[in-house]
Amino acid sequence: MRIGELAKEANCTTETIRFYEKEGLLTPPERTDSNYRSYNQSHIERLRFIRNCRSLDMAHEEIRALLAASDQPQGDCSAVNALLDEHIAHVDARIEELTRLRQQLTALRTRCNAGSAVDECGIMQGLTTMETKPSKQRTNPLG
């Protein structure tokens, strides 16, 4: 099948397929005599696997590790479990960060009622006076 057919089967764009090929996540297809890419069922399955991993917010390195494990079907799945446990820890850390962010925004929102002049707005004053925290590296594995 050609790239457009693969894109339709996997519900993505041809650009996505080319990107995953370039990143080494999707194995390069064979070429026809007229130099068109020729994909098969294994490409559909692998592309769906990659897209499902991305829908779970997994980074390319995580996906590579999972693909390497899938290429060794008789191997031990301990590394797969460890990878998923680590990804869950990243998600938990992000949830904590987002919870703190929501609390900060809610606290700011309570500082102002509609109808005030902007120069008297508690939100604007809070944004000006609240202490800024040092930048830190995010725990997001997508980097």
Q: Return the half-sphere exposure (C-beta side, CA atoms, 13 A cut-off) of residue 137.
A: 5
The reported pTM is: 0.74
> CATH says 3-55 is which class?
mainly alpha
Would you say residue 42 has pLDDT above 90? yes
pLDDT tens digit sequence for 125-142: 888 888 887 876 655 444
The predicted structure's pLDDT at residue 142: 43
Domain boundaries, the chain: 3-55, 82-129
What contacts 139, CB < 8 A, 6 or more positions away? 90, 93, 94, 97
Distance CA 68, CA 12 (A): 23
pLDDT tens digit sequence for 75-123: 899 999 999 999 999 999 999 999 999 999 998 898 887 777 888 888 8
pLDDT tens digit sequence for 70-84: 989 898 999 999 999
In the block, tokens 């850390």 appear at: 93
